[in-house]
Amino acid sequence: MAIDSLFKDEATEEKGERARMASFIGAMAIADLVKTTLGPKGMDKILQSTGRGHSVTVTNDGATILKSLHIDNPAAKVLVDISKVQDDEVGDGTTSVVVLAGELLREAEKLVNSKIHPMTIIAGYRMAAETARNALLERVMDNKQDSEKFKEDLLKIATTTLSSKILSQDKEHFAKLAVDAVMRLKGSTNLESIQIIKKPGGSLKDSFLDEGFILDKKIGVGQPKRIENANILVANTAMDTDKVKIYGARVRVDSMAKVAEIEGAEKEKMREKVQKIINHGINCFVNRQLIYNFPEELFADAGVLAIEHADFDGIERLALVTGGEIASTFDNPESVKLGHCKLIEEIMIGEDKLIHFSGVEMGQACTIVLRGASPHMLDEAERSLHDALCVLSQTVNDSRVLLGGGWPEMVMAKAVDELARRTPGKRSHAIEAFSRALVAIPTTISDNAGLDSAEMVAQLRAEHQKGESSAGIDVISGSVGNMAELGISESFKVKQAVLLSATEAAEMILRVDEIITCAPRKREDRM
């Protein structure tokens, strides 16, 4: 007797061929979706939410596009996740990793159709990935010792990263900004101390890097607008208790005089607290919460600059930068660590007033102020710059550099092809397929630039067969160019992450032979 259905209603299962088909198609569809954003001539996508406000995002950052999609296909979700991880880990290569994984699956589908077992394909892919990585390792350049050359490498990497983004018009300007900012970090990968402030107005060219720290707040009424050699107390405490706030409690009084007494007591309490704060010997007080008019007056009388409502990111960063700690109790001033800076003043950027802290304790902090025509433009510029900063901070730690423009893929493909010729058995088909998938990246780059990709890739392959060639695709002139002369470089860490993540994701999807979709658990009626 055959069991008709093992699962409850509404649950579905797909087996064998159909399950594999569903995963392949889902993954390839996702890869085709972001494929057009790859390379310096890649196009942007508009993402519009259907929620309130119909917010619009214009972007060509693979991870941002995929993060915003709500996807039903399980295999497609795996690709979305690898692009997210790539974004968190190294910042760039989010599109390449998805395109490569999609191509590996497209090749695998052909092999599965010609009756090669998925495990054989996986074994071949594993060998190919290892060989490809070793081929790159043989050809890396490392200029860590020579600081001048290393800085040039960083500039080239930043320019290459930015050339596929919205900032490509002013890429030299922004590459310099990004390299200066990362050089100040002195090898830490903590991008927290690089603050990016976006101010609409002006053009992208007006963006600049500021040595100090800029807080997007205004200075209170009647307080000094400029303080030299500031001692800063950064706090997170309630400064609004001079009004009676007794929620849900009842106070019965005989006369108005008693109410005045209660208010007087509250004020006294506040005055004591302000006095305690001033006793720290400070001349600038930054609070995360509100500061009411009364304590503000007291601070102004004492000549202390009080800044209220500095949002949490703001005070966290400010504490980090000025070398202070966030305080919430003020009873023993000796245990509180104050922040210091040489000068606090009010500056104008565009229409807005901001507070500028210069000469801060931690020299590695800086603020990048982005200007631009519209908020959408600024958001995209921030994403692009963030990618560049991530890649640079990773490269400072792992200083191995490769050429860009489809060169690494061709080097890997050549090594993998040679491996396929040496390998006996069915695995060699899988290894050959891996090399075809790698060539898909230069193919896509030239397709997006409107070039004849078949012709370009054939020329590239011929160049690379000659020996140690540094040929890649020069999309600007539309021909095969010398990447070393054009100064197109990429970080080894990014390429390695792309190669390994894409291979592992493709393996994972290849192993699938059944998809079971469960029905949601129904709520029982308690009537």
Residue 8, Cβ density class (10 Å: 0-12 exposed, 13-18 middle, ≥19 buried): exposed
Q: What does the chain come to in residues?
A: 527
Please count the CA atoms within 13 angstroms of the CA of 90 that sit on its side-chain side. 26
- The secondary structure of 461-496, three-state, reads HHHHHCCCCCEEEECCCCEEEEHHHHCCEEEHHHHH
CA 48, CA 392: separation in Å to the nearest integer?
A: 31
DSSP letter assigned to residue 363: T
In the block, tokens 């996740």 appear at 81
Q: Do residues 403 and 491 lie in contact, with contact meaning Cβ atoms separated by under 8 Å? A: no
How does 229-241 read in b/e, with b if 16+ C-beta sit within 10 Å?
ebbbbbbbbebee
The candidate with the shortest Cα–Cα distance to 207, out of 183, 177, 185, 168, is: 177
- Give, in order, the Cα–Cα distances in Å from 230 to each of 156, 355, 385, 520: 39, 13, 32, 60
Please state, in angstroms and rounded to a whole number, the distance separating the CA atoms of residues 370 and 199: 6
Cβ contacts of residue 49 below 8 Å, gap of 6+?
55, 56, 68
Give whole-number Cα distances, 205 to 158, 231, 358, 388, in Å. 16, 35, 23, 17
Cβ-Cβ contacts under 8 Å for 149 (sequence gap 6 or more): 143
Catalytic machinery residues: 61, 94-95, 387
Cβ neighbours for 513, distance < 8 A, ≥ 6 positions apart: 15, 16, 19, 20, 118
Q: What angle do CA 178, 181, 182 make, to 5 degrees?
A: 85
* DSSP one-letter code for 402: E
